[in-house]
Amino acid sequence: MSVPNYLREAPRRQRMEGTRCKGCGAIHFPPRAVCDRCGGRDLEREELSGTGELVAYTVIMYPPKGFENQAPYAIGIVQLKEGVRILSQIADCDPMELREGMRVEIVIRRIREDGGFIEYGYKFRPV
Amino acid sequence: MRGVAIIGIGCTKVGEHWDKSLRDLAVEASLRAMEDAGLYDADYVLVGNMMSGYLQNQEHLGALVADSLGLQGAGAAKVEAACASGGMAVHMGCQLIASGAADSVLVVGAEKMTDATTPEVTKALAMAEDQEYSAYTGASFIGLNALVARAYMKAYGVEPEDMALFSVICHKHALDNEFAQFRFPITVEAVMNSPIVADPLHLLECAGIGDGAAAVLLASLDGARKIADAPVELLASTVSTDKFSLHQRDDLTSFKAARASAEAAFRRAGLRAEDIDVLEVHDASSALGLIALEDLGFAERGKAAELIRDGGIEIGGRIPTNTFGGLKARGHPVGATGVYQIVELTRQLRGEAGKNQVGGAERGYAQNIGGAGTTITAHILGRVD
C-alpha cells in the first residue's frame, strides 16, 4: 500500500466511517455513493459503533504475501449492531474458542508493513 | 441473433510447465483448437486471463497472442473477471458471433502460476476481492471459501466427510484424463488427514496451483455446418453479478449470481436442469461444488451431500459432474478454467470422452465463478444433429 492510499483510507480504517442512506436509512461500510438497498444517491457520512457479533470465522494457515509473519491468524465476518457486515482479523483470541454469535469489538492494531511503513487499522476482538 | 457453435477445441495438460511461458501455453492450446477445426483463422482473439499483470508483468495479452498465432489484423483483447475470466471470455465471444460483429472468434484461456511462490499466488488470487476492505485483512481466497463452508455445514448439518467426497469423485474422474494435473485416487480419509488450509477446509479438497491453457474456436451456427463435421451449439451464454464482497451478503450458503445466471441460461435454451446430461461446476473447494449442485437446481437446498453419496455425480449417475476432474483434479489455472470446462463438455457431446464418456450425452452445462460468488457465468451446450 502507498502512503497516499493509507492516508486516504484512515477515516475508514481508524474511525469506521461509513454512510447512511437518507432515503431508506440503510447503513453501509465502506462508504458508498449509491445505496445498495434502495438505489438512493442522497447519503451522509456516519461513524459506526465498532461493536457487533461474529457471523462466521476461519483460521488462515497459508497467508497471502505481506501476512506471512502473522499466520496462523483468525479472520471473520462481523455483523455490527447497525446491521452492516464487515470482514476483519479477529485478534486477542484463541481461535479454538471462537464461536458464531460471539460479541466482538473494534481494536486498532498494526495491519502489516508492506510499503516500507507500518499500517494501522481495525481488527476485532472478543468482548 | 445468430446461433453460436464450437468448431474446434484444444488444451494443454494442466501442471507445472517450467519449460513453457504463458505465451507458449496460449499458443499451444490455440493451435490445437484451430487444427481441430481445420481453420487457422479468426476475426477476433479473446484471451481469458486473471493474473498476467501481477505474475508476469505482462498485459495487452489479446494482441500478444494474436500476433503469436500469425493473426495480426484480428481484433483482440484480454478478458478478465477473476476466476471467471475464461467463462467470461467465452461469453464475450458468443456476443461477437451472435451479433454478427465477427464470423469466427478464437477464445483462449491461459494462466501461468507456478513461476511464483505460494504467498505471491495467494496474494494474486486475493486481487479478486476488495483490496481495501477484504484483502486488507489478510484473507486468502480459500479463507473465504472456508467461511462459506462453515456456514453451509452449520445451516444444513453437513459433515466434513460429506464435502470431502465431492473432491474424491473429482480425483476419480481425472484418472483417465490425460490433461489433468492430479491423476491419482484419493479417499475421504486422506482428505480428512491432509493439512488444514483454512478451517474447515483441507488441502485435498481445495483447487491447487497450476499452469495451463484451453481454447475454443467459435463460429456462427450456419457457418459451422459448412466447416465442422460435428459442431456443438452454444444454446445459452449468460452472466450475473452479486454484491462484490462475500461478507456483504446475508446468505453465505448460496450464490445469487449462480441462481440468476442459471435461470437466465435455462430460459434462453428453453431447458430445465432435468434436461442436462453432463455438468461442470466451479469447485474451487469441495463446499462450492455442493452449493453449485443446489444453486443450479440439481439437488434440493441442503441435499447435495445425499446426491453425492448416492453416486449421483459419478459417470453413470443421475448428473455426471466434473467428468474430467473439475478444478480440484483437472486443475485450476485460473483464467483458463472456464474454457477447459467448455472443451470438456464439447468432448462429451461429440462422444470423444473415452473412458469418461457419459452415454448419450446431448446437453451440458458449465458454471464458472469469479471471486467468492461475485461473477458467475453459465453456458449450456447442445449436440447438433
pLDDT at B226: 86
The long-range contacts involving B53-62, CB below 8 angstroms and separated by at least 24 positions, are: B54/B123, B54/B124, B54/B127, B55/B112, B55/B113, B55/B115, B55/B116, B55/B120, B55/B121, B55/B124, B56/B22, B56/B112, B56/B115, B58/B22, B61/B22, B61/B26, B61/B110
The verdict on B92 touching A (C-beta cutoff 8 Å) is no
Q: pLDDT tens digits, residue range B192-210? A: 999 999 999 999 999 999 9
Q: What are the chain A neighbours of B199 within 8 Å (beta carbons)? A: 58-59, 61, 95
| Distance of residue A93 Cα from the nearest chain B Cα, in angstroms | 16
B136–A111 C-beta distance less than 8 A: yes
DSSP secondary structure, B116-170, as one string: S-HHHHHHHHGGGS-TTTTGGGT--HHHHHHHHHHHHHHHHT--HHHHHHHHHHH
Q: How many CB atoms sit inside 10 A of residue B22's CB?
A: 27
Average pLDDT (B168-181) is 98
| Distance to chain B for A72, nearest Cα, Å | 9
pLDDT of residue B175: 98
Examine the pLDDT at A113 and tell me if it is beyond 90.
Answer: no
Q: What is the pLDDT of residues B304-316, one digit of tens each?
A: 999 999 999 999 9
Whether this model's ipTM surpasses 0.90 comes out as yes
How far apart, in whole angstroms, are the C-alpha atoms of residue B191 and residue B187? Answer: 6
* pLDDT score of B227: 82
| Contacts (Cβ under 8 Å, ≥6 apart) of B302 | B155, B156, B157, B158, B294
Nearest partner of B233 among B346, B108, B347, judged by Cα: B346
Alpha helices in chain B (DSSP H): 22-37, 52-55, 61-68, 85-99, 118-125, 141-156, 160-174, 188-193, 221-227, 256-269, 286-295, 304-309, 326-329, 334-350
B194 at the A interface (CB within 8 A)? no
Helices vs strands, H then E, count in chain B: 14, 11
Nearest by CB to A58, from B154, B199, B243: name it: B199
Quick: pLDDT tens for B257-289.
999 999 999 999 999 999 999 999 999 999 999
According to the model, what pLDDT value does residue B123 have?
94
**pLDDT (mean) for B244-250:** 96
Chain A contact residues (CB < 8 Å to B): 5, 9, 12, 29-30, 36, 55-68, 70, 73, 75-77, 85-89, 95, 100, 111-112, 121, 123
**Is B133 in CB contact (< 8 Å) with chain A?**
yes
Q: At what angle do helices B334-350 and B85-99 cross, to 10 degrees?
A: 60
CB contact under 8 A, A64 and B123: yes
Q: From the candidates B123, B134, B199, which should be mutated to test the interface with A, based on the most A CB atoms within 10 A?
A: B199
User: Would you say the pTM of this structure is higher than 0.90?
Assistant: yes
Alpha carbon distance B287, B281 (integer Å): 11
Q: Cβ separation of A85 and B247 shorter than 8 Å?
A: yes
Collect all residues of chain A within an 8 Å Cβ-Cβ radius of residue B246.
77, 87
Q: What is the pLDDT of residue A114?
A: 73
User: Average pLDDT, stretch B166-180?
Assistant: 98
Nearest CA-CA distance, residue A122 and chain B, Å:
9
Cβ of B195 within 8 Å of Cβ of A61? The answer is yes
> Closest residue of A to B129, CA-based?
A87
- pLDDT interval class at B32 (50, 70, 90): very high
pLDDT of residue B229: 76
Question: Which tens digit of pLDDT belongs to each residue from B35-67?
Answer: 999 999 999 999 999 999 999 999 999 999 999
- Residue A53, min C-alpha distance to chain B (Å): 13
Predicted local confidence at residue B37, as pLDDT? 95
AA letter at B85: S
Whether residue B51 lies within 8 A of chain A, CB to CB, comes out as: no
User: Distance between CA A104 and CA A50 in Å, rounded?
Assistant: 8
pLDDT number for residue B230:
77
Distance of CA B116 to the CA centre of its chain: 22
Its sign, for the CA torsion B249, B252, B258, B260, is: negative
Q: Which of B119, B132, B154 sits opposite A100 (nearest CB)?
A: B154
Q: Is residue A92 scored above 90 in pLDDT? A: yes
Mean pLDDT of A25-48: 96
Superfamily classification of domain B4-117+210-232 = Thiolase/Chalcone synthase (3.40.47.10)
**Domain boundaries for CATH 3.40.47.10 within chain B:** 4-117+210-232, 136-207+235-383
For the ranges A67-71, B186-190, B196-200, B206-210, the lowest mean pLDDT is seen at: A67-71
Task: Return the CATH number of B136-207+235-383, one of 3.40.47.10, 3.40.50.300, 3.30.930.10, 3.20.20.70.
Answer: 3.40.47.10
| Integer Cα distance of A25 and A49 in angstroms | 16
What was the pLDDT predicted at B284?
98
Mode of pairing for the β-strands spanning B104-111 and B44-48:
parallel
Judged by CB atoms closer than 8 Å, whether chains meet at B122 and A64 is answered as yes
A-B C-beta contacts closer than 8 Å:
99
Per-residue 3-state assignment (H helix, E strand, C coil) for B39-62:
CCCCCEEEEECCCHHHHCCCCCHH
Nearest to B248 among A58, A68, A85 (CB): A85
CA distances from B201 to A84, B111, B184, B197, B369 (A): 27, 24, 20, 6, 19
pLDDT tens profile B96-146: 999 999 999 999 999 999 999 999 999 999 999 999 999 999 999 999 999
Q: List the single residue in B with minimal CA-CA distance to A35.
A: B243
Closest CB to A89 among B133, B137, B142: B137
Sequence-ordered list of residues with C-beta below 8 angstroms from that of B356, at least 6 positions apart, any chain? B173, B176, B177, B315, B323, B324, B348
> Mean pLDDT over all residues of chain A?
94
For chain B, give the mean pLDDT: 97
The mean per-residue pLDDT over the stretch A17-34 comes to 96
Q: Is the dihedral of CA B198, B204, B205, B207 positive or negative?
A: positive
3-state helix, strand, coil in chain B (%, to 5): 45, 20, 35
Give whole-number Cα distances, B35 to B31, B32, B61, B138, in Å.
6, 5, 22, 45
pLDDT digits (tens, 9 = 90+) for B366-382: 999 999 999 999 999 99
Q: Which residue of B has its CA nearest to A76?
A: B147
Catalytic positions of B = 83, 332
CB B384 within 8 A of CB B232: yes
Inter-chain residue contact A59 with B199, CB threshold 8 Å: yes
Is B142 an 8 Å CB contact of chain A? yes
